Structure 1
Amino acid sequence: MSAYGVSAGINFKFGGTVANTMDAHRVIQHFQEEKGPEVADKIINSLYSQYFENEKHPSADETLLEATADAGIPESEAGPFIEDKTNGMLDVKNMVRQQAGNGVDAVPTIMFEGKRRDITLVGAKEVEEYEKTLKQIVKESK
């Protein structure tokens, strides 16, 4: 991971708390539905930076508040949602169950849909493996 980080300008640190990220997923899902994918991307980018570069807890209220603020969501709007841990949680848990039923049990899981067959890559892969898969899908789709 450190090698990937250097090439992308990310200074990975590995001393932070490893924790359940369900609450972060709940917040991302809610604001994606409310504000759109661009806002969700900003939340995700902030969470990644806070976790991977600043070793902050991935689902702590302060981390989630900072991420939503970075996405332009006022604390007066984000705070009450973040504090109510039940709001939206059932939806996220159902989505997780649905994906587990599809065989997804690791991240990232990337599914490439081809003309003849689909190819699924599970877990972090080298860039070359993604390129090889894309070339294979293109080749089989001609």
Structure 2
Amino acid sequence: MDIWSDIVCPWCAIGRARFEAALAEFPHRDEVQVRWHSFELDPQAPREYPEPLADNLAAKYGVSVDEAHGMHRHMTEVAAADGLEFHFDRARSGNTFDAHRLLHHALETGGPELQDRLKERFFRAYLTDGEPIGDPQALVRVAAEAGLDADESRAVLESDRYAEAVRADELQARRYGINGVPFFVIDEKYGVSGAQPAAALREVLDTAWAEANPLTLLTPTGARSDEGGACADGSCAI
């Protein structure tokens, strides 16, 4: 499972929660490997926006600040239904390029489990705790809470390591035609756009698993094809 998302995208956090719910009910969940891929909603964003998030949202969509607050209240209610706690009044949005680089660092050093743990921690840092998501010091501190070595994370951010990996993810997104996140790609064959309900994501998992693991019909050695009794079409041959 390859998932494209951005940390400052509330629907991406909700999508992760819904995918986790779908995965918890999937009988083959231990065989599903999740990899997070970079997507920047605003590559030109400053490290931190000087104005409150609601003001920024109002300017972006051409609505009043009160309407922007209403949008945040609605999103908070949606998130709460999926067990998430959003505090947009605390959110300090900014450029996410460095955060994406640390996610690649987590994948390389600790594998998909560490990357997923860091992804969840970044979502919580931005949407719940009010951490400045574009600030290197905050990123190092949050990454350490997720299990990364602070000195190594700091060294990554002081270099250009993983910059090409982030750009490669974004190039692949364009090739897939991804223009919004979250976006889920299963076995490089099935694509699902948006934070779909858990039931819909579970259905996709079932479909992908069935296609990758087709049932092979076997006839026991020495048995004829007409010897095994069976019922079909609502009736049984006696």
* TM-score normalised over the length of structure 1: 0.76
Select the residue among 76, 98, 103 that pairs with 1:23: 98
Q: In structure 2, what is the equivalent of residue 123 of structure 1?
A: 194
Q: How does 1:38-57 map to 2 (within 5 A)?
A: 38-57=113-132
**Could you tell me how far apart the structure 1 residues matched to 2:185 and 2:81 are?**
25
Pairwise CA distance, 1:63: 2.6
Alignment check: 8 A CA contact 1:107 1:123 kept = yes
User: Between the two proteins, what is the percent identity of the paired residues?
Assistant: 23
Select the residue among 148, 151, 157 that pairs with 1:73: 148
**Could you tell me how far apart the structure 2 residues matched to 1:128 and 1:36 are?**
27
Q: In structure 2, what is the equivalent of residue 91 of structure 1?
A: 165
Tell whether 2:87 aligns with 1:13: yes
Alignment check: 8 A CA contact 2:106 2:114 kept = yes
Higher alpha-carbon Rg:
2
Pairwise CA distance, 1:7: 3.5
**Could you tell me how far apart the structure 2 residues matched to 1:87 and 1:134 are?**
34
Tell whether 2:138 aligns with 1:63: yes
Whichever structure has more helix as a proportion of its residues is: 1
Give the structure, 1 or 2, with the largest relative contact order (CA under 8 Å, sep 6 or more). 2
**Could you tell me how far apart the structure 2 residues matched to 1:56 and 1:106 are?**
24
**Could you tell me how far apart the structure 2 residues matched to 1:112 and 1:98 are?**
14
Between Structure 1 and Structure 2, how many residues are aligned?
A: 136
Pairwise CA distance, 1:20: 2.8
Alignment check: 8 A CA contact 2:98 2:136 kept = no
**Could you tell me how far apart the structure 1 residues matched to 2:196 and 2:179 are?**
15
**Could you tell me how far apart the structure 2 residues matched to 1:125 and 1:112 are?**
14
Structure 1 residues not aligned, in runs of 5+: none
**Could you tell me how far apart the structure 2 residues matched to 1:41 and 1:10 are?**
16
Letter in 2 for 1:46: R
Structure 2 residues not aligned, in runs of 5+: 1-74, 215-238
* TM-score normalised over the length of structure 2: 0.49
Q: Helix, strand or coil for the counterpart of 2:144?
A: helix
Pairwise CA distance, 1:9: 3.6
**Could you tell me how far apart the structure 2 residues matched to 1:134 and 1:77 are?**
36
Alignment check: 8 A CA contact 2:182 2:195 kept = yes
Q: Helix, strand or coil for the counterpart of 1:73?
A: coil
Task: Select between 120-129 and 43-52 the one with higher mean Cα deviation.
Answer: 120-129
Letter in 2 for 1:130: L
Letter in 2 for 1:56: E
Alignment check: 8 A CA contact 1:44 1:67 kept = no
Alignment check: 8 A CA contact 1:47 1:63 kept = no
Cα RMSD, aligned residues only? 2.7
Tell whether 2:176 aligns with 1:105: no
